Structure formats: C-alpha cells, structure tokens
C-alpha cells in the first residue's frame, strides 16, 4: 500500500542507508532487493564530489532506474553550524531539498544533541529545506523539532550501529499516540528484521537502517528480508493487532461436553 512522504508517493516504508557495503555492485543489488525508494547518503563519509570509489554513481544509477530518491545526511556533524554548511553542500551536489539532519552530542552513544539539532532545523527550514531530523525518542524534543518546522521525525530505536532493536518501545508508542499524523520513521539501532516489524506494528510510518544490511553475511538477501518484514509489520498494524491479556483466554469456546461422562 502506498504512502506519501513530503508529497512523494512511495510503495515501500523501508529507507536504506548506503554506508559500509563491500562494493558498489552489492549496494546496487541490496537497494533493488530491499524495494526501498529512499536511500540516505552521508556527505562526510562518502566524499560525494569525488573519490568515493563509485558508490554514489552506483546509487544514482539504481535510483534513476527505480524512481527512488536520495536523502543526503549530515552524519558526523557535531554542531548546528557544521550541519547547516553540509546541508547546503548536499543541496548543491544532489539537487534535493531533503536533508536527514544528524547532529551528534556524544561520541560514545552517537546520541543526537537536541539543542544543536533544533537550532540547525530552525535555520534549515528557513533556508527552504525539508528536514528529516535524527532524534531521540523524547517527546518534548520531538515537539520542539515540529515547532522548528520539521514535518517528519526520525526517532532512534537504539544507538547507531548497535543492532539492539527497539530499546524503548514505550517511548515510541507514546510518540505515536501524542503525535498522530506526524510521519515517524524509526532510524538507527535496528539489528534484525523482527525489530523492524515490531516498529511497524507499533504504528510507526517507516524504518531507516543501514548497518544491519551492510554488515549482514549476505547483504542482498538481508535487504530483501527487511523489505518483507517492514511490509508485514505494517500490514499487521493495519489489520489491528489483538489486545494483550495477562491471563490465558481459551481460543476455542467449549459448549457442553465432548462426550458423555457417566
């Protein structure tokens, strides 16, 4: 089933990262197998202008063939100013007003810095960008980002590259309940297809991940697995997951007795 992101109709709710693949050919095959129509690319890491060993060119070629979209990101930035400058470079290089805004405040956890993030988002929205902020799952920070003009939020599942899955499903469920109508895309920390399905079952709108595919034994098959898990999780959410019970509830109603007991 289709959905829209900043007015663009997408058939997949899977957003894929492009870092750390063994070769451009594997990246291309993984994007195709994933069904993802949005692929993020880091400027600081890939040296998009030159010297990236063909990864960006491969990505452009694949997305041109599939009708997909590039989402440049500011991974590696530590201040609002650094991220703003990089976002402007990205707009020039990739000819898109989309920017996945990452401003990290802690080197160990790569946790986003909420103050720098909000400051950068405010400026970039004024500069005409569509800002996709990578943020924590803190409700008040998310509200500040919406106040700054962000239309989409990307709360973390767990620290980048940790593969831990959803560390705080309660916080994500709260975001879903308190911010109805805001596209919420879980970004980072997803390790297995089941983690992605869980995010979708919570009613989030999409999942962005990178390491779990790039570091898989077979990235192409893992990309396909995530594509299917995300679609299944969404279908499950739309179908209405049953309510949990603390006690057993017999699934087969028993009327009378199966045979006569003397």
Ligand X SMILES: CC(=O)[C@@H](O)[C@H](O)COP(=O)(O)O
Q: Which residues are catalytic?
A: 100
233 is in an annotated binding site: no
Taking the complex as a whole, how short is the minimal distance between the CB of residue 113 and ligand X, in angstroms?
Answer: 14
Q: Which is nearer to ligand X, 102 or 130 (CB)?
A: 102
Tokens standing for residue 17: 């990262």
C-beta of 122 vs 187, nearer to ligand X: 187
Q: Please report how close the Cβ of residue 241 comes to ligand X at its closest, in angstroms.
A: 24
Select from 238, 136, 240 the least CA-distant residue to 189: 136
Instruction: Tell me how far, at minimum, the Cβ of 252 lies from ligand X, in Å.
Output: 42
Taking the C-alpha atoms of residue 33 and residue 63, their distance in angstroms, rounded to an integer, is: 13
By rule CB under 6 A, what string of x and - marks binding of each residue 33-62 to ligand X?
Answer: -------x----------------------
User: Helix, strand, coil: what percent of the chain each, to 5?
Assistant: 40, 15, 40
DSSP track, 132-181: EEEE-S-HHHHHHHHHTT-S-BEE-SSSTT-----S-HHHHHHHHHHSTT
Question: Residue 217 annotated as binding?
Answer: no
- 113, burial (CB in 10 Å: exposed 0-12, middle 13-18, buried 19+): buried
Size of the site for ligand X (CB under 6 A): 17
Half-sphere exposure of 92 (CA within 13 A, CB side): 9
Contact set for ligand X, span 123-152 (CB under 6 A): 134
> Nearest approach, Cβ of 161 to ligand X (angstroms)?
5
Q: Which positions from 186 to 225 touch ligand X by CB under 6 A, shown as an x/- string?
A: -xxxx------------------xxxx-------------
Applying CB under 6 A, the residues found at the interface with ligand X are: 17, 19, 40, 73, 75, 102, 134, 160-161, 187-190, 209-212
User: Residue positions in the annotated binding site for 1-deoxy-D-xylulose 5-phosphate?
Assistant: 161, 188-189, 210-211
């Amino acid at each position: 089933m289709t959905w829209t992101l900043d007015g663009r109709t997408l058939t997949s709710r899977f957003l894929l990262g492009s870092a750390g693949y063994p070769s451009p050919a594997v990246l291309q095959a993984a994007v195709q197998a994933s069904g993802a129509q949005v692929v993020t690319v880091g400027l600081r890491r890939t040296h998009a202008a030159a010297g990236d060993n063909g990864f960006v060119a491969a990505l452009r070629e694949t997305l041109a063939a599939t009708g997909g979209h590039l989402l440049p990101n500011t991974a590696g930035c530590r201040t609002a100013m650094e991220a703003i400058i990089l976002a402007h470079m990205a707009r020039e290089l990739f000819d898109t007003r989309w920017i996945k805004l990452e401003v990290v405040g802690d080197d160990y956890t790569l946790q986003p810095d909420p103050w720098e993030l909000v400051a950068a988002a405010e400026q970039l929205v004024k500069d005409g960008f569509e800002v996709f902020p990578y943020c924590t799952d803190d409700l008040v920070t998310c509200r500040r980002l919406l106040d700054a003009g962000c239309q989409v939020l990307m709360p973390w599942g767990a620290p980048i590259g940790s593969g831990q899955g959803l560390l705080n499903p309660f916080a994500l469920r709260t975001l879903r309940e308190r911010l109805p109508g805001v596209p919420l895309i879980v970004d980072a920390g997803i390790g297995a297809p089941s983690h992605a399905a869980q995010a979708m079952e919570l009613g989030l709108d999409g999942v962005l991940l990178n390491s779990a595919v790039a570091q898989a034994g077979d990235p192409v098959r893992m990309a396909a697995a995530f594509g299917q898990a995300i679609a299944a999780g969404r279908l499950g959410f739309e179908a209405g997951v049953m309510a949990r019970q603390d006690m057993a509830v017999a699934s087969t109603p028993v009327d009378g007795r199966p045979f006569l007991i003397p």
